[in-house]
């Protein structure tokens, strides 16, 4: 017979694969002493596992769903790991477990389910590219996660190792397969870094947390963009108004501002109501040039208005003078703008708000969209009070000097609403911008 084991050694045996000699009953006497010290669960665990002879270190009773649910509270980045098979087939899968491993030699790694069908193919190729997705890449992630047939259209570039590459990824790391360590039901894959690069310097990575996607909010990064912090504070002040509008109308309502010549969407409410749109438009930007967003310049100095017109004309290669001055005058007279041409509104959304077209052909697309905007604006100016084909509505939030400091955007009007509802949209928007102006004057 062995003497009763000290308490410390009992604690150790919870975590160690440990077995005492059969027939050793003495350790039983330690269990009541543990009761006073240990949390209830540990005590229950010990009572059910401590047979007097054997301590089993398996913590058992954690079901896969319990494990997933709990671990889902830990945020991860999202990467698409891609490779090109010899026969020409591209392969790729979504990975949340990507991490840096070693500096010298430079190694990165990820954990992959050994039972999956994509991993054996990646392994066979022996080299891969890790594309860390940006916060505007939720659609890319979903395309790869659901194995959408056109998913590789998002990986249109090619890396040094010949793997498909997502052109505007937050970060990409091109690797040769270094080694594979089996761990539980997963393999820990180590990649030897051959080449790497970051995408848009100011871009943020996509995050995955509790089954949802989003972007990090890092105050120090936000403060890096000059001029952003003050307008973010203004946007926060008027947030109750956009929330009320979104609730009241069942549409998305956003607030935007001009920062360094670009319109930036700062906050949004009612997100998810727009068909085919990215999850959120917050953080999207587009250039403030004629004939886009006249509500930001209609009350500005003449010099600013001239710059707006000149820059738009330069980008489009067409003189916008006539239409742009008319737009500014109509915006001042009515106090809001309704964008009426639905195909234009949805192309604008795709190019700028969902940030799908920014790489590659962006220059050409901006020219096209500016020309369309000009044609659309002249059309709208003919019948300014007709809201019947409105796709989006916009109104300024002005400070005490009358200058536009923020814009309020009503997005996602579907096109089948009756004229009473559209008038209610306009009136609700104008009412909200009026109240927002008051809120800012009190702040």
**Chain contacts with ligand FMN (rule: CB under 6 A):** 78, 93-97, 110-113, 116-119, 145, 208
CB of 40 to ligand FMN, least distance (A): 33
CB of 73 to ligand FMN, least distance (A): 14
Closer CB to ligand FMN, 172 or 299, in the complex: 172
Instruction: Report the residue number, 115 or 363, with the smaller CB distance to ligand FMN.
Output: 115
Q: Cα 24 to the chain's mean position, in Å? A: 58
Closer residue to ligand FMN in complex, CB, 95/397: 95
- Token duo for residue 179: 């080694």
What is the closest distance, in whole angstroms, from the C-beta atom of residue 405 to ligand FMN in the complex? 38
- Residues 373, 378, 383, CA angle at the centre, nearest 5°? 125
**Three-class DSSP category at 91:** strand
Complex with ligand FMN: residue 101 or 318, whichever CB lies closer: 101
The HSE-up count of residue 355 (CA atoms within 13 Å, CB side) is: 22
Q: Which is nearer to ligand FMN, 118 or 346 (CB)?
A: 118
Q: How far is the CB of 2 from ligand FMN (least distance, A)?
A: 45
DSSP conformation letters of 305-374: HHHHHHHHHHHHTS--HHHHHHHHHHHHHHS-EEE--HHHHHHHIIIIIS--S-SSTHHHHHHHHHHHHH
The least CB distance from residue 75 to ligand FMN, in Å, is 11
Chain residue at closest Cβ approach to ligand FMN: 116
Q: What does the DSSP assignment read for 181-210?
A: EEETTEEEEEEEEEEEEESSTT--B-EEET
Q: In angstroms, what is the minimal distance from the CB of 208 to ligand FMN?
A: 4
Segments of 5-78 assigned E as strands: 18-19, 54-55, 76-77
**DSSP H or E stretch at residue 255:** strand 252-259
Q: How far is the CB of 120 from ligand FMN (least distance, A)?
A: 9
Q: Which residue has the tokens 């209610």?
A: 424
If the CB atoms of residues 81 and 289 are measured against ligand FMN, the closer one turns out to be 81
Beta-sheet strands, E only, within 65-106: 76-77, 79-84, 90-95, 99-102
Pick the closest to residue 392 from 441, 425, 359, 353 (CA basis). Answer: 425
Three-class SS of residue 218?
A: coil
User: Among residues 208 and 348, whose Cβ is nearest to ligand FMN?
Assistant: 208
């Amino acid at each position: 017979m062995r003497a009763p084991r000290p308490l410390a050694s009992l604690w150790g045996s919870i975590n160690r694969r440990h077995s005492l000699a059969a027939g050793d009953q003495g350790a039983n006497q330690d269990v009541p002493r543990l009761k006073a010290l240990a949390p209830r669960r540990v005590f229950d665990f010990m009572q059910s596992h401590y047979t007097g002879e054997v301590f089993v270190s398996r913590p058992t009773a954690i079901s896969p769903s319990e494990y997933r649910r709990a671990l889902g509270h830990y945020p991860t980045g999202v990467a698409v790991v891609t490779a090109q098979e010899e026969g020409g087939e591209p392969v790729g899968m979504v990975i949340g477990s990507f991490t840096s491993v070693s500096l010298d030699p430079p190694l990165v790694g990820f954990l992959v389910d050994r039972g999956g069908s994509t991993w054996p193919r990646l392994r066979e190729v022996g080299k891969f590219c890790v594309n860390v997705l940006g916060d505007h890449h939720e659609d890319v992630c979903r395309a790869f996660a659901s194995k959408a047939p056109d998913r590789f259209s998002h990986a249109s570039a090619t890396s040094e190792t010949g793997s498909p590459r997502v052109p505007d990824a937050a970060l990409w790391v091109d690797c040769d397969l270094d080694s594979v360590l089996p761990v539980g039901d997963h393999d820990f894959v180590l990649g030897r870094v051959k080449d790497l690069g970051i995408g848009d310097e100011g871009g943020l990575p996509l995050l995955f947390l509790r089954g949802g996607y989003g972007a990090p909010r890092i105050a120090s990064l936000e403060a890096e963009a000059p001029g952003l912090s003050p307008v973010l504070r203004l946007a926060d002040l008027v947030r109750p108004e956009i929330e009320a509008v979104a609730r009241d109308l069942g549409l998305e309502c956003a607030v935007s501002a001009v920062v360094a010549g670009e319109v930036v969407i700062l906050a949004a409410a009612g997100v998810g109501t727009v068909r085919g749109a990215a999850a959120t438009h917050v953080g999207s930007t587009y250039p403030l040039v004629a004939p886009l967003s006249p509500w930001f310049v209609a009350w500005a100095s003449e010099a600013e208005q001239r710059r707006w017109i000149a820059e738009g004309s330069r980008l489009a290669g067409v003189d916008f003078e006539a239409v742009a001055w008319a737009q500014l005058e109509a915006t001042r007279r009515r106090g809001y703008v309704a964008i009426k041409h639905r195909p234009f509104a949805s192309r604008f959304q795709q190019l700028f708000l969902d940030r799908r077209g920014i790489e590659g052909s962006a220059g050409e697309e901006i020219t096209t969209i500016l020309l369309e905007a000009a044609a659309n604006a002249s059309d709208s100016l003919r019948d300014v009070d007709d809201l019947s084909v409105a796709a989006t509505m916009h109104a300024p939030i002005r400070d005490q000097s009358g200058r536009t400091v923020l814009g309020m955007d009503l997005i996602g009007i579907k096109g089948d609403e009756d004229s009473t509802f559209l008038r209610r949209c306009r009136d609700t928007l104008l009412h909200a911008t009026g109240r927002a102006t008051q809120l800012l004057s009190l702040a």
